[in-house]
Amino acid sequence: MTDPADLADRLQDGELRLYELDDHADADTAAEARRLLAERETDTDLSAIGSYSFAAADAEANIENMIGGAQIPMGIAGPVAVDGGAADGEFYLPLATTEGALLASVNRGLSAIHNSGGATARVTASGMTRAPVFQVAGVAEAEEVVQWVDDNTDNLREAAESTTSHGELLAVDPYVVGDNVFLRFVYDTKDAMGMNMATIATREASELVESETPARLVALSGNLCSDKKPAAINAIEGRGRSVTADVTLSRELVEERLNTTPEAMAEGNTRKNLIGSAKAASLGFNAHAANTVAAVFLATGQDAAQVVEGANAITTMEAREDELYASISFASLEVGTVGGGTRLDTQSEALELLGIAGGGDPPGANANALAELIAVGALAGELSLVAAFCSRHLSSAHEQLGR
């Protein structure tokens, strides 16, 4: 009965459904049976997908209807010295990507940063959000509900925090649109990315709102959270970690290692990353920050769909006296070192490589460190890409002068 081929037969016969398999076989056998079914139905060979090295049972909290694994190349960039609020020391960054030249670009930038004594990084704000939408009769009732919320912050906190041993409710911000009341709950979720924690706590608090006011809960997420959507509310107010990394590079280093000048980089950054993004009506004023975010997210088990909010970043470059100042500021980097995909085999190893697997001391420190390290990696990518297009002109200029 636990022979994968037999199970696949029963799937094809309609005796079993895909999601029922887990009741009839262990996780790896079930995955094989589904894979067999898929191979038969589509006349394909899925043996590479079947060549995963983790135990399927370990992934049960991460996926349903599993058939195997996707394998994505992983590399390292560094080392780089980081003076962070939480990350402190020298680090190799793990990046999983299929985009050629990305790792080389980050590596080149990190090398320039390292040669300048390293980057500084700080988490400047932190909070995971969940924003249910409630229906009321109209604006008069909305006013009452908002008033009740303002008067009952302590009760809402008690309800919310009753569901979690770690999480803390930081704020509840109300927004009224006609007969809709949105309440944006903000939580400190420590080392967890925190979406589940925030959702469960908010459900409990929402029940209190429903029982004590005329408001009717429509949806636990009313899209003012805002999760996995490009939204100005996150770019402005932040979600997860707001984190900045910066560095000053001497003129010599810019000239010798990056083959350009602080002035050229500042100007190039303004034309492309500021003015270009302004004209595009963008929330991302950077060159390719999402590349580093995505690559470290994949390596360390973060939620790949949250790369969306991870792209809300502003890169600045300015020529100072004899140096270049460069920074990148992420508004909404949603990361964790516990829960989600962080427990899987390769992902937890990548976090170990950074020395920040599991819960931090104090709680939240590991997730803060991860945010800071991603910011430093992205800063490196920005320096490298901007220098690349600026140096082109320098060399062109040299050629022209040489004639």
Site for a copy of itself in 94-153 (CB under 8 A): 94-104, 107, 120-122, 124-125, 131, 133, 135, 138-140, 142-143, 146
Q: Shortest Cβ distance from residue 3 to a copy of itself (Å)? A: 20
CB 97: neighbour CB atoms within 10 A? Answer: 20
Count Cβ neighbours within 10 Å for each residue of 371-382 and write b for 16 or more, e otherwise.
Answer: bbbbbbbbbbbb
Question: Does residue 175 bind a copy of itself (CB under 8 A)?
Answer: yes
Q: Shortest Cβ distance from residue 104 to a copy of itself (Å)? A: 4
Position among 127, 288, 360, 384 found at the interface with a copy of itself (CB under 8 A): 288
Among 54-62, 159-167, 250-258, 358-366, which window interacts with a copy of itself (CB under 8 A)?
Answer: 54-62
C-alpha span between 265 and 222 (Å, rounded): 41
Question: Does residue 314 bind a copy of itself (CB under 8 A)?
Answer: yes
Residues in the interface with a copy of itself (CB under 8 A) total 157
Instruction: List, in order, residues 6 or more apart from 274 with CB less than 8 Å away.
Output: 285
Instruction: Examine the residue annotation and report whether 398 is marked as an active-site residue of this protein.
Output: yes
C-alpha span between 361 and 379 (Å, rounded): 26
Find out whether 299 and 95 touch, Cβ atoms under 8 Å. yes
Instruction: Examine the residue annotation and report whether 24 is marked as an active-site residue of this protein.
Output: no
By CB under 8 A, what part of segment 355-384 binds a copy of itself? 355
By CB under 8 A, what part of segment 239-278 binds a copy of itself? 242, 244-246, 248, 267-268, 270-278
The pair phi, psi for residue 323, each rounded to 5°, is -155, 170
C-alpha span between 333 and 82 (Å, rounded): 18
Nearest to 167 by CA among 131, 126, 135: 126
Instruction: Examine the residue annotation and report whether 23 is marked as an active-site residue of this protein.
Output: no
Q: Which of 303, 323, 334, 372 is catalytic?
A: 303
91: β partners: 80
By CB under 8 A, what part of segment 185-204 binds a copy of itself? none
By CB under 8 A, what part of segment 331-360 binds a copy of itself? 340-341, 344-347, 349-350, 352-355
- Report the catalytic residues: 99, 303, 398
